[in-house]
Chain A
Amino acid sequence: MNKDLTVSSSPHMLNKLTVPGVMWGVAISLVPVVISSVIFFNILAIRLMLTCVLSCVISEAAIQKLRGKKIAIKDGSAVVTGLLLAMVLPPALPVWTAVIGSIVAIGLGKQLFGGLGYNIFNPALLGRAFLMAAFPTLLTKWTSPFTLDAVTQATPLGLMKFSQIKTPYMDLFLGNTAGSLGETAALAILIGGGYLFIKRYAGWRIPLSFIVTASILGGALHAVNPSVFPNAAFHLLSGGLLLGAIFMATDPVTSPVTKKGRWIFGIGCGILVIVIRSWSGLPEGVMYSILLMNGITPLVNRYTKPRRFGAKR
């Protein structure tokens, strides 16, 4: 009989889901988007994704080694950051630019704060924001789907904003438009998102409130002045709104831990996107809206402490 009994605190049973489980789960949820991006942008898509994933994983390992920490690239979080970064960059972006973006995403976006769990901003979005500031022309050079040359082509949001040209909904839904690698195909994003929520790798409160808020606000503006403001469906299907709401705003580390906080986060993102799209000089606002909400997340957590059980309502 075994005399060495183990004594430890309850519970003596744990849920099987681990952090690597969550991260790889998110990576799997991105598979439909990966496939659609390869369909539309072919070799460019493969090149961009490989570049971002590899440089994110390598920079993560290098920084962890330099700082004398355990190398934890197997947890999948750098892979997810790399994939997400690739999804928000123009397909024909030169390799060196993507490498810089990845190093910034991991180094500045994540490791500078102390690694996974401590960062304030979504690393992939921070990487993109940096590239946007440093290389604005490269970051607005779009490619038409099914062509491999980097021709300058406006996105549906740009076409709408600056030339009042409407892109057909079916093209928007399937992703047959110019835009960042992974943001164009609404259908693929929704399929991946469905898997993400069913497997509970991410919560549904943020994407739901984000999308509903943006639709209501966008729809209201359209009702007021249809000639200037596009309708809600256009807002949802164009640009990075769906990708952002489902895969970026739901990043656990940079969004609130409380339920009420997550509603506020989603609503805040939804309002900011429409405001930026409607009244700023930029055609797109998903990235800035999420980064802004990331920034106030600690504050949101503090002021949305759940109501104490049993306390007077």
Chain B
Amino acid sequence: MIKTFPGGVQPACLKNETIDKLIKNAPVPREVIIPLLQHTGAPCEPMVSAGSRVRTGQVIARSDKFISSPIHASISGTVKKIDRYPHPVIGSFNAVFIEGDGADTKETSIKKTDNVNLLSEDEIRDIVRECGIVGLGGAAFPTHVKLALPEGKAIDSFILNGSECEPYLTCDHRLMLENPAGIIEGMAMMLRLTGASRAYIAIESNKIGAAFALEKILRDKRYNTLNAKIVILKTKYPQGAERSLIKSILNREVPPRGLPLDVGCVVSNVGTAFAVYEAVFNGKPLYERVVTVTGSCVAEPSNLRVRIGTPVKDLVDALGGLKKDVYKIIFGGPMMGLAQLSLDTPVIKGTSGILFLSKEDVAEYAETNCIRCGRCVDVCPLNMVPADIMRFVKKEQYERAIEYNVEDCIECGCCSYECPSKIPLFQWIKLGKTEVLNLRSAK
């Protein structure tokens, strides 16, 4: 039976351009610019300075805070400078500029493992941390933190998220088709670290091929003990959001401001599981990731394995340039992604897709009065009333906005998507969230 959650929207999927494209390595860039903040948590301090020689995979920045993740050089060469540079999420941030030597010499300090069973749980967690693994679905939460359950917390279910519900994106889908064994190995390790007794692999109904690929691996007797099950979910956005996934599969609701842990689960993306596998088995740090580069302006839409810190313009060149005028460049998917100011913006660990959209792709509409149709209420996966919250925020009635749970918003954008009056509801709600946060910290 196909499972799902109440609410959500069904935008056109637009994945056809890249759905059959094998993952290719993007050319190793001549220069990379690696921001010192690429994850949720504390920013890193640089360990190198202008003139330092670095190898691919060498740690170039870290932080001693627990919720943080080290950052690695993605090419070998010389550090030119550390300076402010455009950042895809926070506008601009300090970044390490590395000029490549063309050799791509690899750092080999992290050992390969022949038998993971000989590693203790703490050893695995350390490798995951040292390799800079973060959630690759977008939020980039440090994975070693997620795999270290707080004292007194236990979970029963692990959810591997292969739903990839954003239109256009196919990087997770391709990874499941091309590396199912690695994904399952990575998941097995994450299960071991979290102590979950069951695993659910969540896949949307439009990726049955991926489900078969993973199922084939799971049939191996070695994996019987994982107690893993593939769950087919309705193709609906935001099916892959943590709260929606848990609601769909386990019918549990993560409490407001709570974490999946609070309802006994941990959720992780398939790309992250594969990165964990590569880190533990191959000693490979997270210095590259798979990115779907697509949109009607790209000559050759592709799934590329891209070095972290590669500026967007290099990818454009690698894909044969642009075939029409770009109106918007989006990092991420069209529903939650962020529009970029510049072609210099570098790929970071959380970049799942880069969309080059023309004016026709992003149909824009004039905003009209709210007609109280309730469509925004019907689609909000968090049971909010976006039309009313929007009115409270416009009138600066933040207390009322709090009463209407403005802080619960998971920023999926379904309300704006569905509104026939084309009111940027999510933008208002986001503003309301920020104002409420300011109010709370002023108290």
A positions within 8 Å CB-CB of B: 1-2, 5-19, 21-22, 72, 75, 115-118, 203, 252-259, 262, 301, 305-311
Per the bound structure, the CA–CA distance linking A268 and B420 in Å amounts to 27
CB pair A19 B371 closer than 8 Å = yes
A15 to B370, CA, bound (A): 15
The distance in angstroms between the C-alpha atoms of A308 and B355, with both chains bound, is 34
Residues B395-443 near A (CB distance < 8 A): 404-405, 408, 411, 413, 416-422, 424, 426-427, 430
The CA-CA distance from A222 to B26 in the complex, in Å, is: 77
B35: chain A residues at CB < 8 Å are none
Size class of B's contact patch? 35 or more
Closest to B330 in A: A12
Given contacts A309-B243, A309-B382, A309-B383, contact A12 B337 (CB under 8 A): yes
A201 and B249 alpha carbons, distance in the complex (Å) = 31
Task: Determine the residue in chain B with the shortest Cβ distance to A75.
Answer: B368
B418 closest partner in A (C-beta): A15
Specify which of A1, A10, A18, A118 is in contact with B336 (CB 8 Å cutoff). A10
Contact with A along B324-357 (1 / 0, CB 8 A): 0111111000111111111100000000000101
> Which residues of chain B from 158 to 180 have any CB-CB distance to chain A below 8 Å in the complex?
167
Instruction: State in angstroms the CA–CA spacing of A254 and B408 once bound together.
Output: 28
Known contacts A1-B343, A12-B357, A22-B371: A310-B253 contact under CB 8 Å: yes
B255 within 8 A of A: yes
Contact B339 A5 (CB under 8 A): yes
A262 to B, closest residue via Cβ: B374
Closest 7 CB pairs of A and B: A11-B413, A117-B369, A252-B373, A257-B374, A306-B383, A310-B255, A310-B253
In the bound complex, do residue A14 and residue B385 qualify as a contact, i.e. CB atoms below 8 Å apart?
no
B-side residues, CB < 8 A to A, are: 9, 11-12, 167, 243, 253-256, 258, 322, 325-330, 334-343, 355, 357, 362-363, 365, 368-374, 376-378, 381-385, 387-388, 404-405, 408, 411, 413, 416-422, 424, 426-427, 430
Interface pairs (5), CB distance under 8 Å? A5-B329, A12-B337, A13-B334, A14-B419, A309-B256
Given the known interface contacts A14-B365, A309-B381, the answer about A22 and B373 at a Cβ–Cβ threshold of 8 Å is yes
Question: Are A10 and B371 in contact, CB atoms less than 8 angstroms apart?
Answer: no
Q: Are A308 and B408 in contact (CB under 8 A)?
A: yes
Distance in Å: Cβ of A293 to nearest Cβ of chain B = 14
CB-CB under 8 A from B422, the residues of chain A are 14, 18
Task: Given A22-B420, A257-B387, A307-B383, check contact A9 B426 (CB 8 Å).
Answer: yes
Q: What is the minimal beta-carbon distance from B433 to any residue of chain A, in angstroms?
A: 13
Give Cα A309–Cα B409 distance, bound, in whole angstroms.
10
Residue of A nearest to B431 (CB): A9
On whether the beta carbons of B255 and A6 are closer than 8 Å, the reply is no
The chain A residue sitting closest to B427, CB to CB, is A9
Chain A, interface SS category: loop
- Smallest beta-carbon distance B16→chain A, Å: 16
How far is A252 from B374 in the complex, measured between Cα atoms in Å?
Answer: 8
Given contact pairs A1-B322, A259-B378, A308-B256, A16 touches B363 in the complex (Cβ within 8 A):
yes
Chain B residues near A311: list those with CB within 8 A.
253, 255-256
A311 to B253, CA, bound (A): 8
Q: Which residues of A contact B11 (CB under 8 A)?
A: 13, 15
A294 shortest CB reach to chain B, Å = 11
CB distance from A265 to the nearest CB of B (A): 11
Chain A residues whose CB sits within 8 angstroms of the CB of B418 once the complex forms: 15
CB atoms of A17 and B253 under 8 A apart: no
CB neighbours (8 Å) of B363 from chain A are 14, 16
Chain A residue with minimal CB distance to B336? A10
> In the complex, A18→B336 CA distance in Å?
21
Distance, CA A12 to CA B355, complexed state (A):
10
The distance in angstroms between the C-alpha atoms of A258 and B380, with both chains bound, is 11
Across the two chains, which residue of chain B brings its CB closest to A119?
Answer: B372
A11 CA / B424 CA spacing, docked (Å): 9
6 additional contacts (CB under 8 A) given A5-B341, A6-B328, A308-B405 = A12-B334, A257-B372, A257-B385, A309-B243, A310-B254, A310-B258
Chain A residues, Cβ within 8 Å of B421: 18-19, 117
| B415, closest chain A residue (CB) | A11
B420–A19 touching, CB < 8 Å: yes
Q: Are A6 and B339 in contact (CB under 8 A)?
A: yes
